[in-house]
Amino acid sequence: MAKPRKSLEEQIAVLEARKKNLQARLKKKERAQDTRRKIILGALILDRLENPRDPEFAARLHRWLQDELPGFLTRDVDRELFEEMLGLGEASD
């Protein structure tokens, strides 16, 4: 006995559910790629600060981060991560 054929509405509903699932998978993949980029970029910056190949560049990078990070960080817990390393909690000279 053959299965009854799905109506066009049922077929559309199945395709829409599949599309929604595929969009969710794509969004998850894009978030993972964005996170990976941020981790790699952060690792590069930390490496250049901690092991400077070019001390002048490292000093400029350090000053730039001291200028930019306070306005970028919105949570106290995030500021605490950088206070000691960049002197963000200290008064500027």
* pLDDT attached to residue 92: 45
* pLDDT attached to residue 24: 98
Asked if residues 80 and 69 have their Cβ atoms less than 8 Å apart, the reply is: no
In a domain, 65, yes or no: yes
Domain that holds residue 74: 53-93
In a domain, 73, yes or no: yes
Cβ neighbours around 70 below 10 Å, total: 14
Whether residues 46 and 16 share a domain: the answer is yes
pLDDT at 62 over 70: yes
pTM: 0.70
**Domain count along the chain:** 2
pLDDT tens for 7-35 read: 999 999 999 999 999 999 999 999 999 99
What gap in Å lies between CA 86 and CA 58, rounded to an integer? 12
Question: Cα angle at 88 between 58 and 40, to 5 degrees?
Answer: 50
